[in-house]
C-alpha cells in the first residue's frame, strides 16, 4: 500500500504536536499540589476528624463526670428514700437523662465502698457515642450501637465509643451555727478588714447575703452564704440555698417568735433618760437583786457599782443598759430590750465594764441571754461589741436588726456552759474581734441552735 506524501506530512505534524505537548507537561509543576492533596486528603481528613472527635469525647466525659459529682452530692444530701430520683433529676439538669438515647444513670446506696465507710451514695453515668470521622483512619471504637430503622424490622449495628462518669459522696451530719447574719438591711452580712488577729475559734457562720474577709479567714469553720464568699472560713459554701418554707432559700429566723413572750409595757409612757437631771435612783443599780418571773423596768438603766441579778427575765423598755465601768453578773438571767421605734432611746448594752451572764436552761427563754425585740429597727446597733462592755455570755445574743461591730472578745460566762451564739442583721469584725468559747455545750446551756442541714460531700 502506497502512502501519499500528504498523509506522511500530516502524520509527522501530529507526532510533533503530541511530542511538544508531552514535553510541556513533563516540564511544568502546575497541578502537582492538586494531585498530592488528592493523595493525602484521606489522611488529613482522618487526622482532623480524630482530633475533633477525641476533643468532643473529652468534653462529653468531663460533662458526665460533673453530672455524676452533682448527682452523688444530691443523693447524699437528700439521704431519704427518694435519693435515686433526686440524683437522676440532677443528672438530667446536666443533660444526662436516664433512659434517653444510650444514657444510663445508676444510683446505689452501698453500706461501704471505695474510700467510704458509711452513708455512701454512688452514681454511675454511661453513654455511647457513634463514631463520625474517626472511622476514616480505621478506628472501630470500643463498643457498638444497635438500632432499628424506622418502620423497618432490619436491625443494624454501628461502631461507637462507650464512656463513663462515676462519683461517690457521703452524708455529713448537720452542724450548728454560732453566728447568723440575717441581712434584712440588704448589705453584705459578714465583713472584716485587716483581720489577721481576728479569731472566731472555728465558729460556723450563716449569711443571708455575702461574706467578705480581707486580711484573713477569721479562723472561722464552715461559712454558708446565700451570696458570694471572699476569704471567710476554712470551708466556704457560696450561693447556699438554706432550707426554707418559701422560694427565697434564705435563713429562717428561728427566734423571732419569742417576742410573743415579752410582757406588756407597764411604764405609762415614762422612760427616764440617763442624761436627765431627774434621773431616779431606782434606775441606778448596785448590789444584789433577785427576779422571779418577769421584771419590767422603764428607761435607761445604769450601774453605779458591781451588780448581780439572779433568776428571771429583765425587760428594759425604751432604755439602754449602761455598765458604766462595772460588771453585771447574772445567773440565770435574760435581758430583753423592748419599746418603740419612735423613742430616741438606745436599746442596747453599752459602756465600759462587763457583762457576765449565763442564760436560763429551761422555760420559754431557755438559752437566751440578750434579746432585742424584733419589732425594733431603730437605735439597735452596737459599735464595739465585746469591748464596751466586754461580753462573757453563755447563750444567745439576739440582735436581728442591728449592725454589730465585734471589736473585743465574746465568750462564755464564768459560771455558764461553753455556748455563745450571735444573731445580727450584719456583722463587721475588727482585727481584735474573737470568740473565746464556742458552742460545744449549747445543748447543756439550753439553747436550740440554728444549724446547717445534712450535706453531701464527695469522697476522694
| 144 φ/ψ angles, rounded to the nearest 5 degrees | -135, 160
212 occurs within a structural domain: yes
43 in the same domain as 168: yes
95 in the same domain as 219: no
Nearest Cα to Cα of residue 345 among 281, 295, 270, 450: 270
Mean pLDDT score of the chain, rounded to an integer? Answer: 86
pLDDT band at residue 32, thresholds of 50, 70 and 90? Answer: low
56 in the same domain as 179: no
Q: What is the pLDDT of residue 297?
A: 97
Q: What is the pLDDT of residue 17?
A: 64
On the question of pLDDT at 15 being above 80, the answer is: no
> Which residue is associated with the grid cell 444514657?
103
| 277 φ/ψ angles, rounded to the nearest 5 degrees | -70, -20
- What's the grid cell of residue 258? 419569742
Q: What is the pLDDT of residue 57?
A: 85
Query: Of the given ranges (102-106, 178-182, 349-353, 439-443), which has the lowest mean pLDDT?
Result: 439-443
Residue 170 CB neighbour total at 10 angstroms = 20
129 in the same domain as 91: yes
254 occurs within a structural domain: yes
DSSP assignment of 100-138: STT-EEEEE--SSBTTB-SSEEEEEEEEEEE--GGGGGT
CA 265 to the chain's CA centroid:
41
26 occurs within a structural domain: no
pLDDT band at residue 282, thresholds of 50, 70 and 90? Answer: very high
Q: In the beta sheet, which residues pair with residue 308?
A: 288, 329
Query: In 3-state terms, what secondary structure has residue 256?
Result: helix
On the question of pLDDT at 152 being above 60, the answer is: no
On the question of pLDDT at 6 being above 70, the answer is: no
On the question of pLDDT at 114 being above 70, the answer is: yes
104 occurs within a structural domain: yes
Residue that finishes a domain, picked among 143, 172, 201: 172
Residue 54 CB neighbour total at 10 angstroms = 13
On the question of pLDDT at 78 being above 90, the answer is: no
Q: What is the pLDDT of residue 33?
A: 63
Cα–Cα distance for residue pair 287/294, rounded to 1 Å = 19
Element (H, E) at 437: none
203 in the same domain as 145: no
359 in the same domain as 211: yes
277 occurs within a structural domain: yes
203 in the same domain as 146: no
| 169 φ/ψ angles, rounded to the nearest 5 degrees | -130, 155
**Residue range 310-320: mean pLDDT, rounded:** 95
307 in the same domain as 264: yes
| 70 φ/ψ angles, rounded to the nearest 5 degrees | -65, -40
Which of left, alpha, beta for 151 (phi over 0: left; psi -120 to 50: alpha)? left
Nearest Cα to Cα of residue 64 among 145, 141, 167, 161: 167
Nearest Cα to Cα of residue 348 among 306, 310, 378: 378
Quick one: CA dihedral 113, 117, 118, 122, positive or negative?
negative
**Residue range 25-36: mean pLDDT, rounded:** 58
**Residue range 115-133: mean pLDDT, rounded:** 89
Residues of the chain with pLDDT > 90: what percent? 48
Element (H, E) at 48: helix 32-78
DSSP state of 431: T
Residues of the chain with pLDDT > 70: what percent? 84
On the question of pLDDT at 306 being above 80, the answer is: yes
165 occurs within a structural domain: yes
Q: What is the pLDDT of residue 320?
A: 97
Query: In 3-state terms, what secondary structure has residue 157?
Result: strand
Strand 175-176 versus strand 451-452 pairing type: antiparallel
- pTM comes to 0.69
On the question of pLDDT at 444 being above 70, the answer is: yes
- What's the grid cell of residue 244? 426554707
Q: What is the pLDDT of residue 108?
A: 94
pLDDT band at residue 37, thresholds of 50, 70 and 90? Answer: low
25 occurs within a structural domain: no
Strand ranges for 99-241 from DSSP E: 104-108, 120-130, 143-148, 155-172, 175-176, 179-181, 190-192, 205-207, 211-213, 222-225, 229-230, 235-237
**Residue range 52-65: mean pLDDT, rounded:** 87
Q: How many domains does the chain have?
A: 2
163 in the same domain as 201: no
**Residue range 365-387: mean pLDDT, rounded:** 94
Q: What is the pLDDT of residue 374?
A: 97
Output the CA angle 131-135-139, nearest 5 degrees: 95
Q: What is the pLDDT of residue 8?
A: 56
On the question of pLDDT at 436 being above 90, the answer is: no
Cα–Cα distance for residue pair 97/105, rounded to 1 Å = 7
179 in the same domain as 159: no
pLDDT tens readout for residues 83-111: 999 999 999 999 999 999 999 999 999 98
148 in the same domain as 262: no
Quote the domain boundaries for residue 341. Answer: 175-458
Residue that finishes a domain, picked among 172, 201, 221: 172
CA distances from 415 to 332, 334, 356, 412 (A): 9, 15, 8, 8
**Residue range 443-452: mean pLDDT, rounded:** 87
412 in the same domain as 306: yes
Q: What is the pLDDT of residue 259?
A: 97
On the question of pLDDT at 423 being above 90, the answer is: yes
10 occurs within a structural domain: no
Residue 416 CB neighbour total at 10 angstroms = 27
Residue that finishes a domain, picked among 122, 155, 172: 172
Cα–Cα distance for residue pair 65/361, rounded to 1 Å = 49
**Is the Cβ–Cβ distance between 348 and 382 less than 8 Å?**
yes
pLDDT band at residue 30, thresholds of 50, 70 and 90? Answer: low
Q: What is the pLDDT of residue 453?
A: 67
Amino acid at each position: 500500500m502506497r502512502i501519499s506524501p500528504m498523509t506522511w506530512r500530516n502524520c509527522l505534524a501530529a507526532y510533533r504536536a503530541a511530542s511538544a505537548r508531552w514535553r510541556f507537561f513533563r516540564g511544568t509543576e502546575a497541578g502537582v499540589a492538586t494531585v498530592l492533596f488528592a493523595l493525602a486528603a484521606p489522611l488529613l481528613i482522618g487526622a482532623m476528624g480524630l482530633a475533633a472527635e477525641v476533643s468532643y469525647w473529652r468534653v462529653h466525659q468531663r460533662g458526665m463526670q460533673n453530672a455524676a459529682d452533682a448527682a452523688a452530692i444530691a443523693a447524699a444530701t437528700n439521704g431519704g428514700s427518694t435519693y435515686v430520683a433526686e440524683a437522676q433529676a440532677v443528672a438530667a439538669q446536666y443533660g444526662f437523662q436516664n433512659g434517653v438515647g444510650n444514657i444510663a444513670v445508676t444510683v446505689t446506696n452501698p453500706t461501704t465502698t471505695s474510700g467510704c465507710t458509711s452513708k455512701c451514695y454512688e452514681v454511675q453515668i454511661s453513654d455511647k457515642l457513634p463514631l463520625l470521622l474517626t472511622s476514616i483512619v480505621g478506628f472501630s471504637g470500643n463498643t457498638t450501637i444497635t438500632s432499628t430503622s424506622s418502620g423497618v424490622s432490619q436491625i443494624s449495628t454501628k461502631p461507637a465509643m462507650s464512656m463513663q462518669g462515676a462519683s461517690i459522696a457521703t452524708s455529713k451530719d448537720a452542724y450548728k451555727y454560732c453566728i447568723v447574719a440575717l441581712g434584712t438591711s440588704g448589705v453584705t452580712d459578714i465583713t472584716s478588714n485587716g483581720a489577721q488577729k481576728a479569731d472566731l475559734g472555728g465558729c460556723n457562720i450563716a449569711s443571708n447575703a455575702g461574706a467578705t474577709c480581707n486580711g484573713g479567714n477569721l479562723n472561722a469553720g464552715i461559712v454558708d452564704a446565700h451570696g458570694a464568699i471572699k476569704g471567710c472560713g476554712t470551708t466556704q459554701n457560696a450561693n447556699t440555698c438554706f432550707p426554707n418554707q418559701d422560694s427565697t432559700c434564705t435563713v429562717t429566723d428561728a427566734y423571732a417568735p419569742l417576742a410573743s413572750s415579752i410582757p406588756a409595757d407597764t411604764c405609762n409612757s415614762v422612760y427616764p433618760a440617763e442624761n436627765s437631771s431627774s434621773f431616779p435612783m431606782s434606775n441606778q443599780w448596785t448590789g444584789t437583786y433577785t427576779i422571779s418571773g418577769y421584771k419590767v423596768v422603764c428607761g435607761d438603766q445604769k450601774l453605779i457599782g458591781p451588780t448581780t441579778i439572779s433568776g428571771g427575765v429583765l425587760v428594759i423598755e425604751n432604755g439602754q443598759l449602761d455598765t458604766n465601768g462595772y460588771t453585771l453578773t447574772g445567773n440565770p438571767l435574760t435581758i430583753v430590750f423592748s419599746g418603740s421605734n419612735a423613742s430616741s432611746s438606745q436599746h442596747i448594752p453599752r459602756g465600759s465594764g462587763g457583762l457576765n451572764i449565763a442564760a436560763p436552761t429551761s422555760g420559754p427563754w431557755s438559752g437566751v441571754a440578750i434579746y432585742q425585740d424584733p419589732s425594733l429597727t431603730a437605735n439597735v446597733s452596737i459599735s464595739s461589741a465585746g469591748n464596751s462592755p466586754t461580753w462573757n455570755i453563755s447563750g444567745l445574743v439576739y440582735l436581728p436588726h442591728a449592725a454589730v461591730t465585734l471589736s473585743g472578745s465574746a465568750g462564755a460566762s464564768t459560771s455558764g456552759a461553753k455556748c455563745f451564739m450571735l444573731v445580727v442583721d450584719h456583722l463587721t469584725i475588727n482585727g481584735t474581734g474573737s470568740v473565746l468559747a464556742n458552742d460545744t455545750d449549747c445543748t447543756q446551756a439550753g439553747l436550740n441552735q440554728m444549724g446547717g442541714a445534712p450535706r453531701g460531700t464527695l469522697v476522694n
